[in-house]
Structure 1
Amino acid sequence: MQRTLIVAVIALFGVLAGPAQAAQQAATHIVQLRSGVSLAEGRAAVLAAHGDVADTLPIINGLAVRLPSDARARLAHDTRIASISANASIKSQTDRFDPTQLATAYPASVLAPPVWNSPTGATGAGVGVAVIDTGVDGGLVDFNDAQGASRVVASVVTDPNATTPNDNFGHGTHVAGIIAGDSTRRPAGDPLAGRYVGIAPDANLIAIKASDDNGDGTILDAIYGLQFAVDHKADYNIRVVNLSVSSTVAESYLTDPLDAAAEAAYFHGIVVVAAAGNLGTAAGSVSHSPGNDPYVISVGAVDDQGTTARGDDAYAAWSSVGTTQDGFAKPDLAAPGAHIVSTLAPGSAFGQLCPQCIVDGSYLQVGGTSMAAPVVAGVAALIAQAHPDWTPDQVKSTLMATARDVPGAIDEVNASAAISVAEPASGANAGLVPNQLIDPATGNIDETRSSWGRSSWGTPSTPLQAGWASSNWGCVCPGWNDPDDDDTRSSWGSATWLVKWNS
């Protein structure tokens, strides 16, 4: 009796697990039958082509089969067969990105990991993001692709005073890492592998150095950078541009030349993301280009408290918020921007200015809306991959419509919600009047109304003319906690170098 029971149990498990397991081991192909063709007819077709049937798949009206190459060729001509697919291996989407291993909280704060590890697996692959900044160190392993090649696919200098495309300053490399850094590309066994990942870790980067080697830049340099992004949009599939920079001169968006260039990029199908600034609620805090332009996505900073829990996120008191001189409420969105850890350009000024901000030898922790903007730029890159037909207005509208409430003035971007909507939102930029330098028919700069011609993007023809202001690479950094420091005066282009090191 005992022996009979054991045999029965073995037989039962054989019925449940045996054929499926055997089919997985033996089947080389999956055959789907045309509508109305029975499994028996399909079996006969496979046998007639000199193949073998390993199992039936009623759920798809198909068969698991073993097909030599000549049998597959014969079967492909049978009118009863809808398709023949290889029985390829599969792997979990979570193999590469393990959110529990991340040493930073900001990807979780905007729900980027669920997007990476979803069935669609949006990671920004194939999307170009232009970073108009102080350059990007494309040699860092965090910017490699799966084959070991750099995802910094172009490196351009628009400041004639720069002597190298390298990021000697470090701001641009830090920004680029927030957008598309990926430490899973580090060698196997590296303890830092998988700990620091940007929002769109497979996106390509177009490094546009709009500063000299010391980090000083001008409005004209940034305009040339935007011109390059427009001119080479198709070459590098540039769908997003990040501007963690602001003019030091406040001017209406209707006449400001940097706003005009940002709008030109927008009208050419590029999502333009700009930092809102670090001036808090001070008068005029959101009146500087390009963050004051109603067409761009202006981004303020959330403090995620360094935790993956989203309930403790709050709008940072030092992050600019208010109404522009033209009556527009800014910023449009918020994203984590306090104590953000990202890629460090080796030997750059960023690390030398704050040695205590260096993390794990290869990364740097700083904060500011300069760091919040690339979070949103990275989310825009995820959307561009998942929904390549969406317009800049639809991207901006959807990001705003799906953002979540946080304590403070501005809602925080939500990557998972934005990418999952059935239909994009629209209308965020409806009814706006373009900058006076824009030709409304083409979206181009009207050269007859502008003081500069079509840029040569590498070698501006004349020296900087009076009236062009120095760019403001604003950032609030950790390390010091001095209440007397004035974070409203931070300026990477300033000779006085007044910043608040804010833990």
Structure 2
Amino acid sequence: MFSYSNIVEDLVIENLLKSNGEHIPVIISGDDCECDDLEKYVENLGGTIKHKLHLINAVAAYIPPVGVRSVSREKYVSKIHYDDMAFKLMDIASVTVASDYANEHGLTGKDIGVAVVDTGVYPHADLTTPNNRIVGFVDFVDKKTSPYDDDGHGTHVAGIVAGNGFSSNGKYMGIAPDANIVGVKVLNKDGGGSISDVIAGVQWVVENKDRYNIKVMTLSLGTKAKTSYREDPLCKAVDRASNHGITVVAAAGNSGPEKSTINSPAISPNIIAVGACDDRSAAKPSDCTIANFSSRGPTPDNINKPDILAPGVNINSLSNKDNSYHSLSGTSMATPIAAGCAALLYENNPNLTPTQIKRTMMGHGVGLGYDPDVQGAGLLDIKKMMGTTNPSPQPPNRSPKEGSRGSRGIFSIFDGWFFVILIVFLVLFL
């Protein structure tokens, strides 16, 4: 019946067959035309434009079922995708994430902008005190102008990236505690949102990267990969962001242990896909185990994924209620750890490219003994990579940030400083 299936995604046809006449949400990609031309054509068919996605030369629209065939026959239309839903990627549980090597050596992500494309960001004290580091906010769901998070997922992610531990006396500190957060709300109060809203959020980040010095974008969200990354609209968007000098970090997904379960946009080879490991009972990094829920490769293009692992089981971070904390599990929690690491690398050397950031992370992973489609390059090791960029970090002249650090960081180091100070005290005063 449908001879134009090479242009129209199968999911569009499935929804077309089930349609009772209501308009169908689609993303229409064009060749050799402008978004304005696509917009005019959609409107002539009786459709409605939702977003003009010039970043990928496409439009998101609602079109009547009878218009699908007409659109597919236009010579400048390359593909019609169903505007499916993307969802936050998390499990449930409870523990903490704390300090790392770079913080102790003076790298804290200062002035680096990290875009959190998620459910929003609540103005938690750990992000706003003593200085408000939520420097930008945009809402593609309810169009509000002040930072908020009616789900909590995005706030938890933002805290893992850049919480400074203010409300916990330093106990629950993020990876880059001086980094700036740019909140991009694309998911609703239930943690879901359309692919086109996510793409619109990515597009906004690219357009505003210089305004907020956005070097890193983290997406703890995804949708089932249905095609090659070369055709996937969400992958196209993040690839364009990478081309604009933004390191994109995305959650691999929580559909493990089955194979070939990496989500979009993590299937793109041009961004960093992060899987989750369990470090709760590990005496050293190499003792960590893969989280059962962490998605496995290969991708539809037979690319090995994930790229790297980070702790993602029972991670304690910011709540969107008052100034409290709670813990979650999932590749959603592992992803901002890698994003925070990217912010530290950029602070250490602002001239790095997204390709160099990815190469640095993958080139210094700690192997856990799994297949590449399970662990990628292994566990993220910030300590190992910090000395490989130029300039190398140096211990600060000042003392570390006030407040008690967590009893266990990613690599459980520097607890010995307490004993050094104690010995000096005994020598001088006893």
Which of residues 333, 338, 341 is equivalent to 1:379?
A: 341
Which of residues 242, 267, 275 is equivalent to 1:292?
A: 267
**1:163·1:213 contact (CA, 8 Å) conserved in 2?**
no
Q: Cα 1:398–1:193, aligned 2, differ >3 Å: closer, same or farther?
A: same
Residue 115 of structure 1 pairs with residue 77 of structure 2: no
Aligned counterpart, 1:156: 138
In the alignment, the residues of structure 2 paired with residue 365 and residue 143 of structure 1 have an alpha-carbon distance, to the nearest angstrom, of 17
In the TM superposition, residue 213 of structure 1 has moved relative to its aligned partner by 3.4
**1:162·1:213 contact (CA, 8 Å) conserved in 2?**
no
Higher relative contact order (CA 8 A, sep 6+): 2
In the TM superposition, residue 212 of structure 1 has moved relative to its aligned partner by 2.6
In the TM superposition, residue 310 of structure 1 has moved relative to its aligned partner by 2.7
- Residue aligned with 2:285, SS: coil
**2:316·2:326 contact (CA, 8 Å) conserved in 1?**
yes
Aligned counterpart, 1:334: 309
Aligned counterpart, 2:70: none
Please give the residue correspondences for 1:43-442 in structure 2 after superposition, counting only pairs within 5 Å: 106-107=97-98, 112=100, 114-118=101-105, 121-138=106-123, 140-145=124-129, 148-160=130-142, 165-183=147-165, 185-186=166-167, 192-248=168-224, 250-286=226-262, 288-305=263-280, 309-346=284-321, 362-408=324-370, 409-410=374-375, 411-422=378-389
TM-score computed with the length of structure 2 as normaliser: 0.65
**1:303·1:316 contact (CA, 8 Å) conserved in 2?**
yes
* Cα deviations by residue, 1:164-216 (Å, 9 ceiling, x for unpaired): 75101000000111100111x34xxxxx2111001001000000000233332
Aligned counterpart, 2:408: none
- The residue identity in structure 1 corresponding to 2:360 is T
Instruction: Give unmatched runs, 5+ long, in structure 1.
Output: 1-102, 187-191, 348-360, 425-503
Q: Cα 1:163–1:421, aligned 2, differ >3 Å: closer, same or farther?
A: closer
* Cα deviations by residue, 1:274-309 (Å, 9 ceiling, x for unpaired): 0000111324301x3111111010000010016674
- Residue aligned with 1:227, SS: helix
- The residue identity in structure 2 corresponding to 1:412 is L
Q: Cα 1:129–1:412, aligned 2, differ >3 Å: closer, same or farther?
A: same
In the alignment, the residues of structure 2 paired with residue 284 and residue 312 of structure 1 have an alpha-carbon distance, to the nearest angstrom, of 25
TM-score computed with the length of structure 1 as normaliser: 0.55
**1:180·1:199 contact (CA, 8 Å) conserved in 2?**
yes
In the TM superposition, residue 316 of structure 1 has moved relative to its aligned partner by 1.2
- Residue aligned with 1:335, SS: strand
Alignment: residue pair count: 293
- Residue aligned with 1:220, SS: helix
- The residue identity in structure 2 corresponding to 1:196 is Y
Instruction: Give unmatched runs, 5+ long, in structure 2.
Output: 1-93, 392-430
Q: Cα 1:366–1:405, aligned 2, differ >3 Å: closer, same or farther?
A: same
Q: Cα 1:230–1:326, aligned 2, differ >3 Å: closer, same or farther?
A: same
In the TM superposition, residue 105 of structure 1 has moved relative to its aligned partner by 5.6
Q: Cα 1:338–1:152, aligned 2, differ >3 Å: closer, same or farther?
A: same
Task: Please identify runs of 4+ aligned residues in structure 1 that moved more than 3 A.
Answer: 103-108, 160-165, 306-309
In the alignment, the residues of structure 2 paired with residue 162 and residue 315 of structure 1 have an alpha-carbon distance, to the nearest angstrom, of 39
* Cα deviations by residue, 1:125-173 (Å, 9 ceiling, x for unpaired): 01000000000012x111135xx22101111112257797510100000
In the TM superposition, residue 423 of structure 1 has moved relative to its aligned partner by 6.1
In the TM superposition, residue 418 of structure 1 has moved relative to its aligned partner by 1.4
User: CA-atom RMSD, angstroms?
Assistant: 2.2
